[in-house]
Amino acid sequence: MRRFSQRNSLVTLSEINITPLLDLAFVLLIIFIITRPLLEQSMDLKLPQGGKPQSKLNSRDVRRVEISPQGMYRLDGRLRTLNEIEADLVRSARANPNTVVYIRADENGRNKHLYAIIDRCQRNGIYRVSFATAPDQH
């Protein structure tokens, strides 16, 4: 009799209900899909009009620099100083020669902040630079 009761306890332990796990996986997937665009654009910027639609780039090659109207810099969503951004971009370019610096600058910002990033890139041999613009309203 005792053997029979042990066998039943093993059978019940081997049956795992995966429905809660699937629910959790779907909720996490939905959260990731919703927050992904927010992570890519961490600053609320008003981009200048014009330009062509952005061509597809490999996400591993892109380093995103954002410049606020007040002159604050963000590299890949993290607030950084100009010197820190320069050091990070140089490390990235040495590790990956296909590195592209994607600059999002507010149209109401001062050009000196934009020129400072471009100058730092050129001084360090980083010539693959792309600028974000808003599509034309025509």
Q: Where are the alpha helices (DSSP H) in 19-104?
A: 19-40, 82-95
CA dihedral (47, 49, 51, 56) positive or negative: positive
Same domain as 104, residue 69: yes
Q: What is the pTM of this model?
A: 0.60
Q: Confirm whether 34 is domain-assigned.
A: yes
Tokens at 61, concatenated: 């090659």
Q: Is residue 120 part of a domain?
A: yes
93-103 pLDDT, tens per residue? 999 988 899 89
Shared domain check, 36 and 75: no
Could you read off the pLDDT of 19-36 as tens digits, one per residue?
888 899 999 988 888 777
Alpha helices in 15-81 (DSSP H): 19-40
Q: Report d(CA 104, CA 124) in Å as an integer.
A: 20
Q: How many domains, in total, are found in the chain? A: 2
Domain that holds residue 13: 2-40
**pLDDT below 70 — which residues of the chain?**
1-15, 37-57, 136-138
Please check whether residues 19 and 66 belong to one and the same domain: no
